[in-house]
Structure 1
Amino acid sequence: MAAVDDVTAAELLSWPVGVEGELERRIAHLLCHSLADEGISDDLIDTLDEVLSDRPGPAAPGRKIDALLLRWGLPVSRRPPEVEPLTAEDAARIIDRFRRATRQLTQVVAHRVAVYPTEELRLLLALRDEQPSPAQALSYLRRYALAILAVLDLMGDDA
Structure 2
Amino acid sequence: MVAVDTATATELLSRPVSSEDETMRRLAHVLSRSLAAEGISDALIDTLEDVLGDRPGPAPADPSRKLDGLLIRLGLPLPRRPQLLKAAPPLSKEEAARITDRFRRATTPLMHVVPHRAAMYPTDELRRLLALRDERPSPDQALSYLRRYALAIVALLDLMGDDE
CA distance in 1 between partners of 2:106 and 2:46 (Å)? 13
Partner-residue secondary structure (3-state), 2:86: coil
Q: What is the match of residue 155 of structure 2?
A: 150
Q: What is the match of residue 10 of structure 2?
A: none
Q: TM-score when scaled to structure 2?
A: 0.72
CA distance in 1 between partners of 2:98 and 2:60 (Å)? 28
CA distance in 1 between partners of 2:34 and 2:119 (Å)? 16
Q: Cα distance, 1:57 vs. partner? A: 2.3
**Cα displacement string for residues 10-69 of structure 1 (whole angstroms, at most 9, x for unaligned residues):** xxxxxxxx7458x97xx3883573775242011111000000111122222123179539
After superposition, the Cα gap between the structure-2 partners of 1:153 and 1:123, relative to the gap in structure 1 and judged at 3 Å, is same
What residue ranges of structure 1 are gaps of 5+ in the alignment?
A: 1-17
Q: TM-score when scaled to structure 1?
A: 0.74
Partner-residue secondary structure (3-state), 1:99: helix
1:62 equivalenced with 2:62 (yes/no): yes
After superposition, the Cα gap between the structure-2 partners of 1:66 and 1:46, relative to the gap in structure 1 and judged at 3 Å, is farther
CA RMSD of aligned residues (A): 2.8
- Report the residue type matching 2:140 in the other structure: A
Q: What is the match of residue 95 of structure 2?
A: 90
Q: What is the match of residue 8 of structure 1?
A: none
After superposition, the Cα gap between the structure-2 partners of 1:73 and 1:135, relative to the gap in structure 1 and judged at 3 Å, is same
Q: What is the match of residue 47 of structure 1?
A: 47
Q: Percent identity?
A: 58
After superposition, the Cα gap between the structure-2 partners of 1:112 and 1:58, relative to the gap in structure 1 and judged at 3 Å, is same
CA distance in 2 between partners of 1:32 and 1:127 (Å)? 23
Q: What is the match of residue 5 of structure 2?
A: none
What residue ranges of structure 2 are gaps of 5+ in the alignment?
A: 1-14
- Report the residue type matching 2:68 in the other structure: L
The answer to whether the 8 Å contact 1:34/1:157 transfers is no
1:115 equivalenced with 2:120 (yes/no): yes
CA distance in 1 between partners of 2:35 and 2:68 (Å)? 51
The answer to whether the 8 Å contact 1:56/1:83 transfers is yes
- Report the residue type matching 1:61 in the other structure: A
Q: What is the match of residue 15 of structure 1?
A: none
The answer to whether the 8 Å contact 1:120/1:151 transfers is yes
Count of matched residue pairs: 139
CA distance in 2 between partners of 1:103 and 1:35 (Å)? 11
**Greater radius of gyration (CA):** 2
